[in-house]
Structure 1
């Protein structure tokens, strides 16, 4: 299997971890040698309810027995998609009420950027330095990291960059700007939170010049920061909110939500302003609906803040300079990249899955399922501390 993996499946890095998976359940992933790995990554924030959550699996099975794909997105009424978008609207602040379902977070970013341009009639987009919004050419155009995109130029024109949390840069948002796209919490840059009412000040500036604020909630969304969406912690309501990853319970999905006035601008002049064949797929929508119901009907969101406290209490070591993030979107910032690499690789040997962040080499990702137990947190943190103590010797 490993030979076939390297021979036939395209790789994204020169040295994949290449763990051969047998099955996964709850907070654990098992390899083909039946070794159990406690999962502190959750598919890079995607498996909000852990692996093979019964409510999600049952919703998928029920939908499988009814119908799979029947028509290109937006033409037929399909119950799971309608119920999902209705429930999203019930849990989002006004005027965020209409949702476009897509195949991935990256496609949702593309749709949101098109919507901003279509509605305002402007072409300029403003993004943040060290931002990550996906890897298609449009999403890559608003990536604030030249090293990762220089090989693929030319990209979209009329993109400008500001520094996250730098108030003085807000003057760069002008009447030429269609939209400002920001991660609510910067992910790849190291889980950097907005400070000093920053996001509200960006929204105010956007309102002054007629630009739209797009917030990327693909990582913090769906309960990971103690609220359904991260922006609900920061005194701001975006014009367009983009989601993905954690909304699918482990299934591939994305979406963007805006007011009816904004969203309706995509369905005419021209017609088919954004189109996707498989967006809103009934099986995926059923999984998303089950995930959203479980998160909003339980106390999982409140638990994330208590679990964050436990992580911060247990992970104290001279090599850990700080713990960034909120809820169960956390990153250890250690003294150097060698220490980060050693923690991640040696923890895997000990049966704990950790991972890197894109642009911050000193960071160790901790984004476990929201369903992780206190006992499992203690077990995983014990492994991290064991690796750190071994590094001291």
Structure 2
């Protein structure tokens, strides 16, 4: 099977993990050779309720028995879309009251950028160094990492990159700026939370200049930070909110959320000026609705904070620089690339999936599912500590 995978599936690296998956359940992935792995990265912050949560699977089965795709986005009334949009917006600030469904995070960013330019009539965009917003051309244009941008230049013009968490360059946000886009917690950039006061200053600068503030919560959304969305930790509300990853419990889905007033601009000059065939697919929408209902009904936000406390308390010692982040969106900073590589590989050999972020080879991503119980969490943390001690 692996040889066919390498022959027929386009590869993005020379060293894919190559696990032949048999099935997945809860916090575990099982392979065809009988091994069990603890998914401590949740499919990269996707499976926050674990794999195949029974309520999500039930919702998928029920919708499959009714209908699949019936019409391109926005033309037919489909109950799964309406139910999910109603529940989502009822748990957001009042001005975030309409949802545009897409298929992925990068599509959410693309739509948000277009919406901001259309609404403001401006073209200038402000983004931040070391950010990551996706790999399509618009998203890549506002991603602050030259190593990924350079092969595809020229990208969108008039994009300005500022230092994250720095007050010094905020005057770049002016009356020509359509939007400022940021992750409240930089993910691939190294799990770097924004400073609360800096975020408030950025919000005020947008208000004063008429620029829209876009929050990319594709990785930090849906309970991972200890709140439904990361911006709730800051009491700063964006004009446009980008979502994906954990939205639909493992089904492909993304969205950008804004106000009715702002979304009006997609209706004219010309009509249908932003469309998608599969956005808001009814099966994904049904899964997302079940996923959100479960998140809101359980103790998952508190569990994210408990996981944070336990990890930050436990992972200390020689070779460990720090653990940073919020809730169950954490980064373990080690002292060297060699140590990081050895720890990730040693844990993999012992059945624990960890990951590096795209922008740092000394940072290990820790994004466990929110269903993880203390016994298994302690087992994983002990294994990580043992590996650090062995290879430090």
Smaller-chain TM-score bracket: over 0.9
> What's 1:267 paired with?
267
- Asked if 2 retains the 8 angstrom alpha-carbon contact of 1:337 and 1:361, the reply is yes
How far off is 1:188 after superposition? 0.9
Query: What is the correspondence of 1:52-91 to structure 2 with a 5 Å cutoff?
Result: 52-91=52-91
What SS is found at the alignment partner of 1:112? helix
Partner deviation per Cα, 1:229-281 (whole Å, 9 max, x = no partner): 00000120000000000111011111000011001211222111210000000
- Asked if 1 retains the 8 angstrom alpha-carbon contact of 2:307 and 2:328, the reply is yes
Is 1:113–2:113 an aligned residue pair?
A: yes
Alpha-carbon distance between aligned partners in 1 of 2:316 and 2:175, rounded to the nearest angstrom: 48
Alpha-carbon distance between aligned partners in 1 of 2:198 and 2:85, rounded to the nearest angstrom: 29
> What's 1:343 paired with?
343
Alpha-carbon distance between aligned partners in 1 of 2:317 and 2:385, rounded to the nearest angstrom: 8
What SS is found at the alignment partner of 1:34? coil
Partner deviation per Cα, 1:304-330 (whole Å, 9 max, x = no partner): 101111111221121110001000000
TM-score, normalised relative to structure 1: 0.99
Is 1:160–2:160 an aligned residue pair?
A: yes
> What's 1:378 paired with?
378
Alpha-carbon distance between aligned partners in 1 of 2:272 and 2:327, rounded to the nearest angstrom: 39
> What's 1:191 paired with?
191
> What's 1:389 paired with?
389
> What's 1:316 paired with?
316
Structural RMSD (CA): 0.8
How far off is 1:196 after superposition? 4.2
Q: Which runs of 5+ in 2 are unaligned?
A: none
> What's 1:240 paired with?
240
> What's 1:258 paired with?
258
- Asked if 1 retains the 8 angstrom alpha-carbon contact of 2:251 and 2:287, the reply is yes
> What's 2:5 paired with?
5
What SS is found at the alignment partner of 2:356? coil
> What's 1:182 paired with?
182
What SS is found at the alignment partner of 2:19? coil
> What's 2:171 paired with?
171
Q: Which runs of 5+ in 1 are unaligned?
A: none
Is 1:358–2:358 an aligned residue pair?
A: yes
- Asked if 1 retains the 8 angstrom alpha-carbon contact of 2:196 and 2:234, the reply is no
Alpha-carbon distance between aligned partners in 1 of 2:30 and 2:289, rounded to the nearest angstrom: 27
How far off is 1:389 after superposition? 2.2
How far off is 1:136 after superposition? 0.3
- Asked if 1 retains the 8 angstrom alpha-carbon contact of 2:318 and 2:389, the reply is no
Alpha-carbon distance between aligned partners in 2 of 1:200 and 1:279, rounded to the nearest angstrom: 33
> What's 1:225 paired with?
225
What SS is found at the alignment partner of 2:38? strand
- Asked if 1 retains the 8 angstrom alpha-carbon contact of 2:101 and 2:279, the reply is yes
Alpha-carbon distance between aligned partners in 2 of 1:249 and 1:234, rounded to the nearest angstrom: 25
> What's 2:22 paired with?
22
> What's 2:100 paired with?
100
Alpha-carbon distance between aligned partners in 2 of 1:184 and 1:252, rounded to the nearest angstrom: 23
Alpha-carbon distance between aligned partners in 1 of 2:259 and 2:73, rounded to the nearest angstrom: 19
What SS is found at the alignment partner of 1:215? strand
> What's 2:42 paired with?
42
Alignment size in residue pairs: 392
Alpha-carbon distance between aligned partners in 2 of 1:196 and 1:53, rounded to the nearest angstrom: 34
Alpha-carbon distance between aligned partners in 1 of 2:196 and 2:241, rounded to the nearest angstrom: 21
What SS is found at the alignment partner of 2:294? helix
Alpha-carbon distance between aligned partners in 1 of 2:319 and 2:94, rounded to the nearest angstrom: 44
Alpha-carbon distance between aligned partners in 2 of 1:80 and 1:376, rounded to the nearest angstrom: 35
- Out of 308-317 and 74-83, give the one that drifted further: 308-317
What SS is found at the alignment partner of 2:193? coil
> What's 1:367 paired with?
367
Alpha-carbon distance between aligned partners in 1 of 2:128 and 2:389, rounded to the nearest angstrom: 37
Is 1:328–2:319 an aligned residue pair?
A: no
Alpha-carbon distance between aligned partners in 2 of 1:295 and 1:55, rounded to the nearest angstrom: 11
- Asked if 2 retains the 8 angstrom alpha-carbon contact of 1:48 and 1:247, the reply is no
Alpha-carbon distance between aligned partners in 2 of 1:230 and 1:196, rounded to the nearest angstrom: 12
- Asked if 2 retains the 8 angstrom alpha-carbon contact of 1:199 and 1:236, the reply is yes
The runs of at least 4 aligned residues of structure 1 exceeding 2 Å deviation read none
What SS is found at the alignment partner of 1:231? helix
